[in-house]
Amino acid sequence: MTPLHVLHEPSPELRKVAAPVLDFAIVDAKTQELIDALALTMVEENGVGIAAPQVGASERIIIIETPSGVHAYINPEITSRSVRIVDSMEGCLSVPGVSGIVKRHSSVKVKAKNRLGEDVEVKANGLTAIIFQHEIDHLDGILFIDKATKLTKDVRSRL
């Protein structure tokens, strides 16, 4: 398997609202291959998260590096958000060489399916909470630069 090509802003693919994966399609070979290829691409690019639209697949699939390892989340939805907001310094594999500060919830609860098609619920804090918010934004065609203040040129491009 080879890593996929990561699209860069201003690709129109990055601005589409991605379609949900149908329950029965999660375990399809095609979806499983996409998940594996996304995870490989994330690792190759030194990322900590990646969303399917970043490789031109308009499907609601994200891969996140969490404290317990690299996991795929399919059709993720944020079901609750902390009141507390933090300033997050972010970059993005699709916006190379730029970083900026984004206001994010310090913790979130996320409901999704795992790659076996099972229901999962995750309570995420710290960096993991931020990665979830950043990657789920990708599924709605939103990039961190839409929300960021103080954009600067930077080498950090990890989400």
Per annotation, catalytic residue among 59, 65, 90, 135 = 135
Residue 64 lies near Zn ion (rule: CB under 5 A) = no
Residue 4 lies near Zn ion (rule: CB under 5 A) = no
User: In sequence order, what are the residues at sequence separation of 6 or more whose Cβ sits closer than 8 angstroms to the Cβ of residue 122?
Assistant: 66, 73, 109, 110, 112, 132
Active site residue 135: yes
**Distance from C-alpha of 15 to C-alpha of 18, rounded to nearest angstrom:** 9
88: alpha, beta or left? (left if phi > 0; alpha if psi -120 to 50):
beta
Nearest residue (beta carbon) to Zn ion = 92
Per-residue binding letters, 74-113, with Zn ion (x by CB under 5 A): ------------------x---------------------
Instruction: For the CB of residue 18, give the shortest distance to Zn ion in the complex, in Å.
Output: 13
Q: 74 or 159: whose CB is closer to Zn ion?
A: 159
Cα dist. 30→50, 60, 107 in Å? 18, 14, 32
Q: 86 or 142: whose CB is closer to Zn ion?
A: 142
Residue 159 lies near Zn ion (rule: CB under 5 A) = yes
**Distance from C-alpha of 78 to C-alpha of 136, rounded to nearest angstrom:** 8
Q: Which residues are catalytic?
A: 135
